[in-house]
Amino acid sequence: MFKKVLSIILMLAMLSSLALTFTSCGGDDDDFKLGVILLHDEASTYDKNFIEAVERAKTQLGLSNDQVIYKKNIPESALCTEAADDLVDQGCDIIFADSFGHETFLLDSARKHPEVQFCHATGTMAHTAGVANFHNAFASIYEGRYLAGVAAGLKLNEMIADGEITAAQAKMGYVGAFTYAEVISGYTSFYLGAKSVCPTVTMEVQFTGSWYDELLERQAADTLIGRGCKLISQHADSMGAPSICETKGVPNVSYNGSTVSSCPNTFIISSKIDWTPYFVYICNAVKDGNAIDVDWTGTLTNGSVALSEVNTAAAAEGTQTKLDEVKAKLISGEIKVFDTTTFTVGGNPIAADHKADVDTDSAFTPDTDVVDGGAFLESKFRSAPYFDIRIDGITLLNEKF
């Protein structure tokens, strides 16, 4: 029976493919096309952030619906290569993939199609792969985290001033996904931001070993609150941590977008990467025939590193004013997030010739001098974060994940 069905289907397919060939001969005025490969769909805050950015870029550039093709729920496997190849067949000029694990599979497709540009968010290999049409991008999100940390520090200061806690009790909790540079760089900059205004602050980090696990994130936040953390932040994609904070009345600094609608009493601020500038940039580059940067870093200046509105119901007074001031100093370079005088490792500042693993190799050997002018230069030698130092003041409750 199924073979019969199959043969009918095959017959229909041949007919329809004929019909499609005819219809697709119509041709657009502008035949530029962007293909977007997503790990999940709108249900994940991570992918939603990309979809929204593409839609904004689409409006800004005046692209039609036919000029952007989404491939959703593409796993980090050969299926990613297949999705990319299929997008090439559909005439895409740029193919973008949003997940770290897509990289090697996207690179495989890029090698096969040198005439198409491949752009990959959060990856690390473009600057060493030597494949001219393959590009990485990230943002200096550590600056956004630092600013969010300042808002957190101000909140702690307010709690100390109100006599709710003592200066020694100023402890924050952080829910992280993996002990991976992107997460370490994120929580460290957050901590340093808080410390810049609240010098006695300490922090505990609990890892979940997953980018998206609502229950685990919720439990991790609950554990941290139980251990006496007065404020929670997270680097994971679900509502787990923010929602438990709202239930327990603990202030929360969010990530990837405002959670104020679900957490009106505890949400302070959120930092996020806005990918719109990058999408506009790559589309314009290809349309104008310009080369795309091998490794593009979005910044506070070009609007890639963005902060949500401050929720005055939960944030300390004067937060916005202070943030504007610090932001201006970050942009001017007066404040450096990883200023080596502001943190220590085992009681000592890090060495002036400290090396980090920038060029990816299988052994992950530290290969590049990253300290210059009294600061660890994050996102300078490649866009994806490589700050992976465990600094004093931050306790990791479960070290390896």
Partner 1 sequence: MKEFFKKLELPFHVVKRSTIPTWKAMLIRVIAVLAALLLCSVLSIFMINANPIKFLTTMLDGVFGSSRRIWKFAKDLSILLCIALAITPAFKMRFWNIGAEGQTLIGALAAVAVIVYLGDSLPEGVLLLLMLVAAVLIGAIWGGLPAVFKAIWGTNETLFTLMMNYVATGLVSYFLLLWTPSGSSVLGRLDKGHLPIIGHEYLLLIILVLALTALVFVYQKYTKQGYEISVVGESENTAKYIGINVRKVIIRTMLISGAICGFAGFLIVGALDHSVAVTSVGGMGFTAIMVSWLAKFNPLIMIGTSAFITFLDQGAAQITTTFNTDSSFPDMVVGIVLFFIIGCEFFIGYQLKLKSREEKSAAAATAEAAESKGGNE
Binding residues (CB under 8 A) for partner 1: these are 1-6, 9-10, 12-14, 16-17, 19-20, 41-43, 65, 69-73, 75-78, 82, 85-86, 89, 100-101, 103-105, 107-108, 178-181, 209, 357, 360, 363-364, 388, 400-401
Of 119 and 198, the one with the shorter C-beta distance to partner 1 is 119
- Judged by CB, which is closer to partner 1: 48, or 248? 48
**Cβ at position 290, least distance to partner 1 in Å:** 29
| Smallest separation (angstroms) from partner 1 to the CB of 163 | 40
**Beta carbon nearer to partner 1, 214 or 357:** 357
Least Å distance, CB 249 to partner 1, is 33
In the complex, minimum distance from the CB of residue 20 to partner 1, in angstroms, rounded to a whole number: 6
- What's the min distance (Å) between Cβ of 347 and partner 1? 24
Q: Is the CB of 73 or the CB of 299 nearer to partner 1?
A: 73
Side-chain half-sphere CA neighbours of 240 within 13 A:
25
Q: 168-197: b or e for each residue (b if 16 or more CB lie within 10 Å)?
A: eebbbbbbbbbbbbbbbbbbbbbbbbbbbb
Report the alpha-carbon distance of residue 152 to residue 156 in Å, rounded.
6
Q: What is the rounded distance in angstroms from the CA atom of residue 395 to the CA atom of residue 299?
A: 29
Q: Which ranges of 119-180 would DSSP assign to H, the alpha helix?
A: 126-129, 141-161
394 contacts: CB under 8 Å, gap ≥ 6: 187, 188, 191, 202, 203, 204, 205
Shortest CA distance to 62 belongs to which of 394, 230, 261, 287? 287
Q: CB of 328: closest distance to partner 1 in angstroms?
A: 34
Which residue's CB is nearer to partner 1, number 178 or number 342? 178
SS3 (DSSP) at 159: helix
Q: What is the DSSP string of 61-101?
A: HT--GGGEEEE-S--SSHHHHHHHHHHHHTT-SEEEE--GG
Give the residue with the Cβ less far from partner 1, 135 or 171.
Answer: 135
In whole angstroms, the minimum distance from the beta carbon of 357 to partner 1 comes to 7
The token pair at 310 is 């401050």
Q: Which is nearer to partner 1, 42 or 392 (CB)?
A: 42
Any idea of the CA torsion for 271, 272, 277, 279, to the nearest 10 degrees? 180
Q: Which residue has the tokens 């693993």?
A: 357
Nearer to partner 1, 66 or 334 (CB): 66
Question: Please, which residue, 93 or 246, has the CB nearer to partner 1?
Answer: 93
Let me know: does 83 contact 37? Beta carbons within 8 Å: yes
CB of 90 to partner 1, least distance (A): 9
Nearest distance, CB of residue 293 and partner 1, angstroms: 22
CA distance 262 to 246: 8
Amino acid at 127: H
Helix (H/G/I), strand (E/B), else coil: 110: helix
